[in-house]
Structure 1
Amino acid sequence: MNSHPKVRFALTGAAGGYARTLLAQSALSKHVEPAVLCDRDTDKVFALCRELGYSEHQLQICTPSEDLESIPDETIAIVPDLEMLINAQYEVLVEATGNPTAGTQVAREALAHQRHVVMVSKEVESVSGVELAEQARSLGVVYTPAHGDQPANLIEWYERVTGWGLEVVALGKSGEYDLIYSTSKATLSYLDREIPAPEMAELLDLGSNVQETLNRRAELATTLPRKAAADYCEMAVVASWTGTSADTESMHYPIARIQELADIYSTRLEGGILNAHGIVDVFSALRVDGEASFAGGVFVVVRTHDSGTWEILRGKGHVVSRSGRFACLYLPYHLMGIETVETIFAASQGRAVSDRMPTSNVLLAGRAETDLPSGTVLHMGGHHHEVEGVLPVLLNTAEHPESAAAPLYAAAHNTLTRDVKKGALITSVDF
């Protein structure tokens, strides 16, 4: 590795929104700086860097024929081809292509060349995370999810809380965007979609029958698109690194207010919605006009121990269940690349988000949303990387030991070679 005073990193997917947040923060960081930025649209990357205040003399757009080993340390190379990273001078790869095949390959090559890897692409992680972590450990380098996205934030929060000795009953995140109830208009909105929902005024309190209230809320919000493939992908990553599991393959997705989470995420026998403990899940945050957002943050629900301790904490505003037996500890933020500078520096010092190794205890797979005839191309796209015609599911591999289900993002972009019936799992022999 070079002796440059700052940790130099390479970034793939460098023209994307995530890249902007990382590059903006890197310009302020005392510890890390970009060395090489990779994206097919090199002009867009150049323009982005200039907009963020990088000087023109710092930036050099390179062609595939150029020798990156000769680029001075002070220069940020902008390259169009992932293969060019092999000969570039950097310590840490930040992988943000979102492409399972390309992202896996570039991460493998970085590790093989004794570079640390900070994984932003949850799609890559869901397919190849276990393999890449094993490769990194065998080579004595770091492979880790990136702070700033919910998986790493939640994994680290889980490690801290369990390190205190608390039993985690459930862990998860809110959906990317809140459901907002307008008390003046009696409407429910999600992003730019708004529907009339006068009945929600009666459902702002959880009431004595938790499941009934959640069912009624869900009925009111049926037309709003609350679920996303990205949520399933992120929870698969979290389950892999923490050894937890999914309670149901489609997850519960309750519509919940923050103060209700400790009541909702307990077992059915204890008045909640879970069938077991140690569960990953996602909820849709419900708030009224003017209330603070959960901001796509993360949470753990723990079993309390000393009632006096938790009553003191309830008095300080912490979320404790009505029974006093559970509490929700949460972080209402994820700041994308603003936080990732910490992960890059930590990786260079030999530290990952977790000392654990990920496992294949949960598989992110897909079920056909409708009948899919042979010849169908499983296109992947959109902001949340949905796979067209396929519903994401989380399978606990211990319960499906003989399953031939394919990882969702290994199936993406492939062409089906046989018919797949509605509701059937997409398997590796289907493409």
Structure 2
Amino acid sequence: MTNLSTKLLQLEESGRPIQVGIIGAGKFGSMFISQSHRTTGIRLAGIADLSAQRALDALKKTGFPEEKYDISATLSIEDGIKANKTAITTDSAQLIATPGIDVILEVTGNPAAGVRHALLCCEHKKHIVMINVEADVLAGPLLARKAKEAGIIYSMAYGDQPALIAEMVDWARTAGFNVVCAGKGTKHLPQYHYSTPDTIWTHYGFTEEQLASGDFNPQMFNSFLDGTKSALEMSAVANGCDLSPPTNGLGFPPCGTHDLPNILKPKSEGGQLEKYGTVEVVSCLEKDGRAVFNDLRWGVYVVIEAPGPYQRDCFAQYGLKTDSTGRFAAQFKPYHLIGLELGISIATIMCRGEPTGQCKTFASDVVATAKRDLKVGETLDGEGGFMVYGKLMPAEASLAIEGLPIGLAHGLVLKRNVQKDQGLSWQDVEFTDRSQAVAVRREMEAIYREEFRLKTKVTNGVH
């Protein structure tokens, strides 16, 4: 990345800045907006949000220069590009279809909207940064294929943890190391799986002053706490880096940065992992609620293994923190700045023709799992709600039980009782393939079910 700013400067000087459209003016979107006008070679051409006022508020509160956007929210996107002003629309499809837009940032957090926008980007040949991890895990393996067929780049979002983890995994492999484990930190206790929007602030730790800012959605933040968001992000990493999810879901072991190489190695080597090449999330809390020393709550990591005695000696000589054998070592980044760093994805796509991480395979899935006993006739309330949390599992295991993806566990009516901690299946709910998101997901399941079947036949020596 050492010369991206130089390449952006060249675009600026040649009068060809990158024109960006963003869909969603919430927290993540606002963080990007705050930096967009400060980045040479990048222009925020348009913002699409269901509320034009929310988009205007995001521009104002982030310090976006008033002379650089249309305060009337009446200018078309095309006219805005000509006038070098950010335009505002409530029509995301119009933003995607506008000639001159180079890159779309999908920041809605709504899985169905993310699928729709990705398919529209394929249709209109617009690169897309899928900040919407819910959509990426729901259908990313198929959306990435469709994007490639359309000749566009489908990318993870730099600044968000999955892309930062993917970067560290790529670094390790490029340097010739096997990846033992990769993941992130968070705040988690086992009982948090059953947290609801009513209990979130008790657990989370925000002050009254912070909450008074109005920038905090309780259901969204509850998805961080109940383990759903961690499962989604680790599924994105597994699918993007060809790593394996733990068979029985994330363990959330308490772990400080000094202990990463001790804990995040296989059980056969004295650690807590079931095998090599997996993903895991570490908690900043001990099981009794005490704070972990040297926690990694906001960061990301990768654990590597010295392939031989010479490399192990080099680990020691250059001060790497290793396990007691000296074989396993960790690299970590203590923080991530999500939307503030998003320009790196845009620059990488347009200056290098590469994504900052991308879904490559269907290795893992996140299945809706009951927080309590659920009854026939109840309507599911989705990610971060009162009824289900997302559990990470291998994709083949999810297909075997016809697992209901967490991204579609909203607005569906139960037709069977489901016990607490049980994973839901398609057979438990009323659904219709007339929904675009459902149809795309079911198409993806059929494709990979057949691919897994063929892979198993080949593995067994049958062609």
TM-score, normalised to structure 1's length?
Answer: 0.81
Question: CA separation of 1:48/1:193 partners in 2, compared to 1, >3 Å: closer, same or farther?
Answer: closer
- Consecutive unaligned residues in structure 2, runs of 5 or more: 1-13, 190-201, 208-223, 431-463
Question: C-alpha offsets along residues 33-64 of structure 1, whole Å, 9 cap, x if unaligned?
Answer: 21111112222321331333333343226779
Which residue does 1:294 correspond to in 2?
A: 296
Which residue is 1:133 aligned to?
144
| Change in 2 beyond 3 A, CA 1:289/1:359 | closer
Query: Structure 1 residues 370 and 54, CA, compared in 2 at 3 Å: closer, same or farther?
Result: closer
Residues 1:168 and 2:179 aligned together? yes
Q: CA deviation at 1:286?
A: 5.5
For 1:37, the equivalent position in structure 2 comes to: 47
Change (3 A) 1:292 1:276: closer
Matching residue of 2:343: 341
1:175/1:227 contact within 8 Å kept: no
Q: CA RMSD in A?
A: 2.9
Alignment match, 2:278: 279
Contact 2:76/2:87 (8 A) holds in 1: no
What's the CA shift for 1:105? 0.4
Q: Report what 2:391 is aligned to.
A: 393
Secondary structure at the aligned position of 1:374 is classed as coil
Total equivalences in the alignment = 383
Structure 1 position 317, deviation (Å)? 3.7
Counterpart of 1:95 (choices 106, 110, 113) is 106
> How far is 1:312 from its partner?
4.4
Matched, 1:360 2:358: no
**1:326-367: CA deviations, max 9, x gaps?**
11111222111222101012112321124x752112111122
Question: Which residue, out of 71, 85, 109, partners 2:80?
Answer: 71
Alignment of 1:368-379 (within 5 A): 368-379=370-381
The answer (yes or no) to whether the contact 1:68–1:87 under 8 Å persists in 2 is no
Partner of residue 351 from structure 1, selected from 349, 354, 366: 354
Q: What does residue range 80-91 of structure 1 map to in structure 2 within 5 Å?
A: 80-88=90-98, 89-91=100-102
Which segment is superposed worse, 51-60 or 240-249?
51-60
Deviation at 1:323, TM superposition (A): 1.6
| Structure 1: tracts of 5 or more residues without a match | 179-188, 195-224
* Structure 2 SS opposite 1:281: strand
Q: Structure 1 residues 343 and 40 mapped into 2: Cα distance closer, same or farther (>3 Å)?
A: same
The answer to whether the 8 A contact 1:122-1:233 is kept is yes
Q: 1:30 to 1:298 in 2, by over 3 A?
A: same
* 1:189-236 C-alpha deviation (Å, 9 max, x unpaired): 975399xxxxxxxxxxxxxxxxxxxxxxxxxxxxxx965211000001
- Distance (Å, rounded) in 2 between the aligned partners of 1:107 and 1:227: 28
Q: How high is the sequence identity, in percent, across the aligned residues?
A: 26
Q: Quick one: distance in 1 between partners of 2:168 and 2:150?
A: 27
Structure 2 distance, partners of 1:371, 1:191, is: 25
The equivalent residue for 2:312 is 310
Asked if the contact 1:118–1:347 (Cα under 8 Å) also holds between the matched residues in 2, the reply is: no
Q: CA separation of 1:17/1:103 partners in 2, compared to 1, >3 Å: closer, same or farther?
A: same
1:122 match: 133
Q: For 1:373 and 1:108, how far apart are their aligned partners in 2?
A: 35
Structure in which a larger fraction of residues adopt strand: 1
Stretch moving more, 286-295 or 234-243: 286-295
**Which range is displaced more, 313-322 or 342-351?**
313-322
What residue is the counterpart of 2:233 in the other structure? Answer: 234
With over 3 angstroms needed to count, the CA separation of the structure-2 counterparts of 1:312 and 1:72, relative to structure 1, is closer
Secondary structure of 2:341 counterpart: helix
Report what 1:11 is aligned to.
22
Write the letter of the residue equivalent to 1:351.
Answer: E
Shift in alpha-carbon separation, 1:311–1:226, aligned structure 2, 3 A: farther
Quickly say closer, same or farther: Cα 1:154–1:418, change in 2 above 3 A: same
Offset at 1:420?
Answer: 2.2
CA distance in 2, matches of 1:289, 1:236: 26
Q: Which amino acid aligns with 2:320?
A: H
- Residue identity matched to 2:142: E
Is the alpha carbon distance of 1:59 and 1:226 closer, same or farther for their aligned partners in structure 2, counting shifts above 3 Å? closer
Tell me: CA distance 1:106–1:143, structure 2 relative to 1, closer, same or farther (3 Å): same
Cα distance in 2 between the residues matched to 1:352 and 1:417: 41
Give CA-to-partner distance per residue, 1:161-209, whole Å, 9 cap, x none: 112111111111101689xxxxxxxxxx975399xxxxxxxxxxxxxxx
Partner of 1:424: 422
SS in 2 for 1:263: helix
Q: Kindly indicate whether residue 205 of structure 2 is the aligned counterpart of residue 192 of structure 1.
A: yes
Distance 1:55 1:364, change over 3 A: same
Hey, what's the Cα distance between the residues in 2 that align with 1:410 and 1:4? 43
2:221 counterpart residue number: none
Write the deviation string for residues 271-324 of structure 1: whole angstroms up to 9, x where unpaired: 111111111110013599997663521111111134454344345442210121
Do the aligned partners of 2:137 and 2:236 also contact (CA within 8 Å) in 1?
A: yes
Match of 1:204 in 2: none
Asked if the contact 1:177–1:191 (Cα under 8 Å) also holds between the matched residues in 2, the reply is: no
- Structure with a larger share of its residues in helix: 2
Quote how far apart the aligned CAs of 1:375 are.
2.0
Q: Is the counterpart of residue 60 in structure 1 residue 59 in structure 2? A: no
